[in-house]
Amino acid sequence: MVDAAVRVSDEILKKYEGVSNATVLGALAKRDYLKVFMSGVHSLAPGRRLVGRAVTLRYLPSRPDLQEYVTRGGHGEGFNETPRWDALEALTPGDVLVADCMGLSMTSTGGDVVFSRILSQKAAGLVTDGGVRDGHKVAQYGYPVYGGGSTPTIGEPNVLPYEVNEPVQCGGVLVWPGDVILGDEDGVVVLPSQLAEEIYEESVHHDEVEAAILWHTQREGISPKFFYPFNEETEKIYDEWKKTQG
């Protein structure tokens, strides 16, 4: 069962900066979490690692008769109180805005002015399966940005922001508010918040063992195939490698 009260600490988030997404996927797969890698969501700011807690925002398809209702004021009085601003104002350091745009990769979920609020809130970054308007400008803010693509268009003719901090899909993956969002050059992994502490040591150990295998095989000029799946010889190499690490 999901504990809605689970909040992953900043300390745990910091630790995951050094754990590979592939390793986290492997640890989750052992626990039958097989649909946790977002499809069609890519880094728009290469070279930046993303680790943060999900603050979710769900978009709906536009409909003229419901636009005012959905956005709580439409383009008249109350326009500045739309759910998108609610989501941005809810961000704290260590949080990631995760916007569910139904996989509409070229439909904008916001642009450089809107997403400048992520910077001023000192939040961890942005993830959406929609588009990011003026994505190259948003990337200049310095935080990690993941999306379906960069677009010059606005989103409102096609989608409307609807609700905040409820379960959403993004890139075909279920995201629960507070889940840990991990982004690297390969894409985005969703780590259920209640598993973050449980799999950390296991993930670190796996990464270290693979570093040991690489160290040994490159030094000896032999194939890594002898050490997979991990076996007694793998553990011997790992013990040797640990000694070299002080």
pTM: 0.91
pLDDT in tens, 98-137: 999 999 999 999 999 999 999 999 999 999 999 999 999 9
- 162: tokens are 């609807």
User: How many domains does the structure of the chain reveal?
Assistant: 2
Give a yes or no: residue 60 inside a domain: yes
Give a yes or no: residue 6 inside a domain: no
Give the domain range for residue 115: 35-191
Based on the domain organization, do 45 and 164 belong to the same domain?
A: yes
Long-range contacts of residues 14-20, Cβ cutoff 8 Å, at least 24 apart: 14/51, 15/200, 15/204, 16/51, 16/180, 16/182, 16/191, 16/196, 16/200, 17/49, 17/51, 18/204, 18/207, 19/182, 19/200, 19/203, 19/204, 19/207, 20/184, 20/203, 20/207
Q: What is the DSSP string of 192-229?
A: -GGGHHHHHHHHHHHHHHHHHHHHHHHHHT--GGGG-S
Domain boundary among 149, 168, 191: 191
pLDDT in tens, 207-240: 999 999 999 999 999 999 999 999 999 999 999 9
Based on the domain organization, do 45 and 127 belong to the same domain?
A: yes
Give a yes or no: residue 240 inside a domain: yes
Based on the domain organization, do 176 and 100 belong to the same domain?
A: yes
Based on the domain organization, do 202 and 158 belong to the same domain?
A: no
Based on the domain organization, do 165 and 99 belong to the same domain?
A: yes
